[in-house]
A and B are shown apart, each in its own frame.
Chain A
Amino acid sequence: MSLLLPIAVLWPLLVLLRSGLVQAMEQGGMRRHEPRRELLDGWWASAPLPALILALWPGELSFALESWLLGGLWQYDAARRPWLMFGALLWFLAGCYARGYLAEEQRCAEAGDESAFRRLLGFSLFWPLTLAGNLLLILAEDIPSFYLGFITMTLAAYGLVVHTGNHDARRGGLAYIVMALCGEALILGGLLWSAGSAEALTLSELRAAIAEAEQGLWMATLLWLGFGVKAGVIVFHVWLPLAHPVAPTPASAVLSGVMVKAGVLGWLYTLPLGDAEAGLARLGEAIIAAGLAGAFVAALLGVVQRHPKAVLAYSSVSQLGMLASLVGVGLVTPGLWPALLAPVTLFAGHHGMTKGALFLGVGISEHPPRLPAWLIVTLLALPALSLGGALTSGLIAKGFIKEVLKEGGHSTLVSWLSVAAVGSTLLVARALWRQWHRRGEPALHWRSPMLLAWLFAVLAAAGVPLWLPIGEPGVPWPPLKELPGLLWPAGLGVILAGLVLLTAKAGKGEWEKFSRLPAGDLWWVYLVLARWAAAGLTTVGGALQLGSHRVRASLVVKERRARAWLDDLTHYERVFTHLAVPLMIGVALLLLLGFWLG
């Protein structure tokens, strides 16, 4: 059964290979005249299925391969199960959704539009590759495999982000790849340093190594920041609002639902959470502070955005900030971590599925199905309210977290998180509002794969606590008397959103003034800084080159002089010939003298 592990990872790659080969054969001209085959066919959509089957497997599996990299070890255990399950599920749903979402491009491609075909081909190849990386990083236990999965996912997702190929997409892609590479460098440094300090090869050895190492604080900081790029830690979050709006909607869904969670998973895999001897409380406090700052700042920046996907991206930053602050608790109060892991996992699963459903919903509001408007609005609002913590999985996850944190004596954090939840509600309200503004004409058939996938995602997101296997003793339902304490942030958020809406209606245009703030806030500052740095580097480089030119020129001059001097030596030859006879006679005389005397 442990073969299921490599199959789950390899299946997307086989799908990729199949797509590539089929296209290569068609390009070969053998079947030029026949109509082009469907690129995103059933096989293509099946890519995450083996992983989904694996996630339903009840036992624990492990798969070792000695000749793989530096010794491969892939594991499937209770800690990985929920991540694999919601990840694979969302990938599958988004894949089905993509078949409907990209149907128009498919038609263009079949009709002979070459650029649509190229775009679609790229999508059909990068999608399974990204998926394979994502699955590998979840299942890997040895560090090189984990890093391989992480980097594959990161780089391949670039192809998904720049799918449309227009100016905005290229800018989003640039922000994405530059930030991601900075993150990679930090991760590489952190991994090498910590693994080197104890010659660790597996992730559990790595955690132990950081806990024991003298400079564990710095190693952990590198890893926190490195994975933080993916997990949208404030200051590094700029790629999210730039990349999400431009990516195709199913890609945004997996990007925000699953891939940013890879950053959180990276923290869980590498930081010595719950290790009382690690002594990383200071770092934990920093993580909590940064997380809360992210949660608030992102909410403020997000509500003035116009593109619904940009608003949702800021909402992801905000939610991930809350998640990060919980991870920080694992370092500040290690004793609490075993109890906190389950709610953290639940929260991650809830956010992944709900945000996925919300992103998929953006596409639905752009191409609404022929269903009653109230039904669609309700279905769109359901995950939104859940994300705000007012309903279903959101409510339960928040209740669970609150309970554990209160028991652990982190009441202040609970209050902060509650306030942040007001921001979350505002953000999703803003997103829905912008969606309403950009709604399209109802055209979609109710049986289209896009709609069905979205419906299923909404339902699955609502029921996350029911099916996500977070282990014993399961998810506690919040008692009735706790409800007011849990519901007030969402209620306040809704009321605030309503007030803002009313004032916006009253003073038309006033509100839009705020909306000039471009998505990606700090990215523009970074750009200016980078330009300065590049200009400075060019100046220094020019000066260096000038200097080396001078040195070389002076060396050449010296060499020429030396050669001229050597050439001059031949002039002495004539003098020598003149002197030869007297010289020889002189030497002979001296010799004779010597013999005579000796």
Chain B
Amino acid sequence: MSQPWLPLFILATSLLVAPLIFVLPERAWRARAVVNLSAAVLKLVLVALLVWGFYQGRDYSFGFTVVDGAAFFLQVDALGLMFAGLSALLWLATTVYAIGYLEDSPNRKRFFGFFSLCIASTVGIALAGNLFTFLLFYELLTLATYPLVVHRGHDKALQAGTIYLRYTLSGGLVLLLGVVALHALVGDIAFGQRERLADLGPEAHPMLTVLFLVLLLGLGVKAALVPLHGWLPRAMVAPAPVSALLHAVAVVKAGAFGIVRLVYDVYGISLVHELGLLMLLSVIATVTILYGSVKALSQQELKPRLAYSTVSQVSYIVLGISLFGPFGTIAGLVHLMHQGLMKVTLFYCAGNYAEELGIHRIDELDGAGRRMPMTSLAFTVGALGMIGLPPVAGFITKWYLGMGAVQAGMSWVIVVLMASSLLNAAYFLPILHRLWFRHGPAHGHGNWPEERNLGRFETSAWLLLPTAATTLFSILVGLLAGMTFSPLDLATFVATEEYLP
């Protein structure tokens, strides 16, 4: 049974909300909140429906030809579903958070309008069925996030926005070149038709290698692979919900997701392996992981440290797919979800500290655990997960990366994992120490930079609830990884589909 309307509906929930929000007057924050939240809930329900239908074996493809040879094509596969589910879930959480975060600040209409567009493009990326559609939404994402990055409108934000655009647009251009060249070579490829490129035979291999590198270069900008990561730490001037989304699902993840699509669904892992490009990927990932961690160590402010941590963590995904074998695939895919959950939690916490206490620097966090225990607990969970300690989600990733490394015969990756764990501990544990063991304003030493007392609890409930929810999810997906429908289960499903045709 075919139900092509469902993916379209899912796209429409956020795409059509955007004009609606732009139409609503700036003052109507209640109406806007209702529209936003109902759209987010509706989308979550629809995605759940999609997951259910997909497990029933339903077909959801939808497509029409734009110009001859280039078709707009949406399809639903397990990989896309994972990403769509993640973005739907985190969109809901982040919408709640953003409503609380932006209370009383100007330009909320613009913010939420582009916010919806941003999510629409993320879902579009998830459900895109071929490179053309993917590219369409990928570029839309760039344009939709720019107003969010420069939302504050001060000089630093505008400058960061310019750098952001410069990086992402040039990345997009390179990607476009690659896509066009690939199109010229074999025509329109729907994701999953791996045999099309594999059938070209060995004489096409040099050309395919070059094209792969071009596409990787284009996608690597958004995925913040070293040395293309320069925009990410600067984009930290964005408001906390934007940073959270940017790091967890939207931009960085879109890049990583693109690389996953490129390796598994355009080239096919066997072809990439044959071309000898997996080694290159693992070296790039290793360099990025270690460099990001070392840079994170030297940051004195909270959000830039988290940003460099993202640079490092997103490369776990790339590292996972570069390990030839089902375990590596599982690790990469499952981290797509896990990193999103954990990083979004950390950014919510950073936002909470900034909103409630005016804290931006790490050394201002002394004793904050006493003033904001829930937020600090959430931050602790997120940080431990990033280090890769059980029972938080990060451990599952690390476990499968290790298994994958041995399976692929690249035991040296384990040394990278050890080093990365230590580095992660070196930049996260001092923060935890400050939160819980140092004495600060909460113990009567000095004052918080800018205390605001936003709510009845330690801070506004709008900020606290999403934080608690994502924290809980981060623990549960690790602790109960063996359950059906857990990210690990989904990733295993995708990997077995990939390796056992």
Chain A positions within 8 Å of B, measured between CB atoms, are 24, 66-72, 114-115, 118, 144, 147-148, 151, 155, 159, 162, 165, 177, 181-182, 184-186, 188-189, 191-193, 195-197, 199, 215, 537, 541, 548, 552
Chain A residue numbers with a CB within 8 Å of B482 are 66-72
CB distance from B302 to the nearest CB of A (A): 20
Given A193-B411, A196-B327, 12 more A-B residue pairs with CB atoms under 8 Å apart are A68-B480, A69-B390, A70-B482, A71-B482, A148-B391, A181-B425, A186-B418, A189-B418, A191-B402, A537-B294, A548-B227, A552-B230
On whether the beta carbons of B437 and A162 are closer than 8 Å, the reply is: yes
Q: A193, B402: Cβ atoms under 8 Å?
A: yes
Q: Which 10 A-B pairs have the closest CB atoms?
A: A192-B402, A196-B406, A148-B390, A67-B482, A67-B483, A196-B403, A185-B418, A189-B418, A67-B480, A185-B422
Contact residue among B411, B421, B436, B486 (Cβ-Cβ distance under 8 Å from A188): B421
Q: Report the bound CA distance from A188 to B370 in whole Å.
A: 32
* Partner of A196 from B370, B388, B402, B436 at Cβ < 8 Å: B402
In the complex, chain B residues whose CB is within 8 Å of the CB of A192: 398-399, 401-403, 405-406, 414, 417
Q: Which of B422, B429, B443 contacts A114 (CB 8 A)?
A: B443
Q: How far is the CB of B429 from chain A (nearest CB, A)?
A: 7
| Complex CA distance for A196 and B406, rounded to whole angstroms | 5
Taking each of B227, B294, B414, which has the highest tally of chain A beta carbons within 10 Å of its own beta carbon? B414
- Asked if B402 and A185 sit within 8 Å, CB to CB, the answer is no
Across the interface, do A184 and B403 meet the contact criterion of CB distance under 8 Å? Answer: no
B417 touches A197 (CB 8 A): no
Say yes or no: A189-B414 contact (C-beta < 8 A), given A70-B482, A196-B407: yes
- Return chain A residues, CB-CB under 8 Å to B480: 67-68
Q: Quick check: is B184 within 8 A (CB to CB) of the other chain?
A: no
A537 to B389, CA, bound (A): 26
Chain A residues with CB under 8 Å of B390's CB are: 69, 144, 147-148, 151
B396 at interface by CB-CB < 8 Å? yes
Q: Is the CB of A189 within 8 A of B395?
A: no
Determine if A177 and B417 form an interchain contact, defined as CB atoms under 8 angstroms apart. no
B interface with A by C-beta (< 8 Å): 227, 230, 294, 298, 327, 370, 373, 388-391, 395-396, 398-399, 401-407, 411, 414-415, 417-419, 421-422, 425, 429, 436-437, 439, 443, 478-483, 486
Give the distance in Å from the alpha carbon of A196 to the alpha carbon of B419 in the complex: 18
Name A's interface SS. helix
Q: Which residue of B lies closest to A149 (CB)?
A: B390
B298 & A541 in contact (Cβ 8 Å cutoff): yes
Chain A positions within 8 Å of B478 at CB level? 69
Q: Which A residues are CB-close (under 8 A) to B388?
A: 188
Bound together, the chains give a CA A199 to CA B230 distance in angstroms of 39
List B contacts of A71 (CB < 8 A). Answer: 482
Contact in complex: A69, B418 (CB < 8 Å): no
Q: How far is the CA of A199 from the CA of B400 in the complex (A)?
A: 10
**Contact A69:B391 (CB < 8 A) given known A177-B429, A192-B414:** yes
Chain B residues with CB under 8 A of A188: 388, 398, 402, 417-418, 421
Question: With A69-B482, A70-B396 known to touch, is A181 a contact of B411 (CB < 8 Å)?
Answer: no
B417 surroundings in chain A (CB, below 8 A): 188-189, 192
B406 in contact with A115 (CB, 8 Å)? no
Query: Given the complex, which residues of A lie within 8 Å of B422, measured CB to CB?
Result: 181-182, 185
A177 vs B403: C-alpha distance in the bound complex, in angstroms? Answer: 27
Task: Please determine whether B411 and A144 come into contact, CB atoms closer than 8 angstroms.
Answer: no
Instruction: Determine which of A24, A191, A196 lies in contact with B405 in the assembled complex, contact meaning CB atoms within 8 Å.
Output: A196
Question: A151 and B437 in contact (CB under 8 A), knowing A188-B417, A196-B405?
Answer: no
Residues of A near B486 (CB, < 8 A) are 67
Question: CA–CA, A552 to B388, complex, Å?
Answer: 34
Check if B395 sits within 8 Å of A144, measured CB to CB: yes
What distance in Å separates the Cβ of A470 from its nearest Cβ neighbour in chain B? 31
Q: Which residues of A contact B399 (CB under 8 A)?
A: 70, 144, 192
Cβ contacts under 8 Å, A189 to chain B: 414-415, 417-418
Report whether A184 and B421 are in contact in the complex, using a CB–CB cutoff of 8 Å: yes
Q: State the CA gap A362–B463 with chains docked (Å).
A: 49
Name the A residues within 8 Å of B436 (CB-CB). 159
Kindly state the separation between the CA atoms of A147 and B414 in the bound complex, as whole angstroms: 16
What is the bound-complex CA distance between A189 and B399, given in angstroms? 10
In the complex the two chains form, what is the Cα distance from A478 to B421 in whole Å? 49
When C-beta atoms are compared, the residue in chain A nearest to B407 turns out to be A196
Bound Cα distance from A24 to B421, whole angstroms: 33
Pick from B389, B419, B479: contact of A68, CB under 8 Å: B479
The CA-CA distance from A144 to B482 in the complex, in Å, is 12
Complex CA distance for A119 and B360, rounded to whole angstroms: 27
A114 to B445: give the CA distance in the assembly, Å.
Answer: 13
Task: Enumerate chain A residues within 8 angstroms of B418, measured Cβ to Cβ.
Answer: 185-186, 188-189
Q: How far is the CB of A23 from chain B (nearest CB, A)?
A: 10
User: Which of these, A69, A185, A199, A215, contacts B479 with CB under 8 Å?
Assistant: A69
Min CB distance A153 to B, Å, is 12
Task: Give A428 Cβ to nearest chain B Cβ, in Å.
Answer: 33
The CA-CA distance from A70 to B406 in the complex, in Å, is 18
Minimum CB–CB distance for B38 against chain A, Å: 33
Task: Determine the distance from Cα of A422 to Cα of B414 in the docked complex, in whole angstroms.
Answer: 43
Q: Is the CB of A69 within 8 A of B481?
A: yes
Instruction: State how many angstroms separate the Cβ of A24 from the closest Cβ of chain B.
Output: 8
Rounded to whole Å, the gap between the CB of B20 and the closest CB of chain A is 40
**Contacting residues, chain B, for A165 (C-beta < 8 A):** 437, 439
A69 proximity list for chain B (CB < 8 A): 390-391, 395-396, 478-479, 481-482
Q: How far is the CA of A118 from the CA of B439 in the complex (A)?
A: 11
Q: Would you list 17 pairs from A and B whose C-beta atoms are within 8 A, ordered by A residue?
A: A68-B480, A68-B482, A69-B391, A69-B478, A71-B482, A72-B482, A144-B395, A147-B390, A148-B390, A159-B437, A181-B429, A188-B388, A188-B421, A192-B401, A192-B402, A196-B402, A196-B404
Chain A: CB-nearest residue to B408: A196
Contact residues in B for A155 (Cβ distance below 8 Å) = 389
- Decide yes or no: A193 and B414 within 8 Å by CB, A70-B399, A181-B425, A184-B421 being known contacts: yes
A165 to B433, CA, bound (A): 12
Task: Give Cα A162–Cα B425 distance, bound, in whole angstroms.
Answer: 18
**B440 → chain A, closest Cβ, in Å?**
12
Residue of B nearest to A200 (CB): B403
The reply to whether A193 and B406 contact each other, CB–CB distance below 8 Å, is yes
B391: chain A residues within 8 A (beta carbon): 69, 148
Complexed CA–CA distance, A185 and B399 (Å): 13
CB distance from A187 to the nearest CB of B (A): 9
Q: State A189–B403 Cα separation when bound (angstroms).
A: 11
Question: Given the complex, which residues of B lie within 8 Å of A114, measured CB to CB?
Answer: 443
Q: Min CB distance, A129 to chain B, in Å?
A: 12
Is A70 touching B407 in the complex (CB atoms < 8 A)? no
Does A215 lie within 8 Å of B411, measured CB to CB? Answer: yes
CA distance A445 to B480 in the complex (A): 50
A197 engages B396 (CB within 8 Å)? no
State the Cβ distance, B424 to closest chain A Cβ, in Å.
10
CB distance from B113 to the nearest CB of A (A): 32
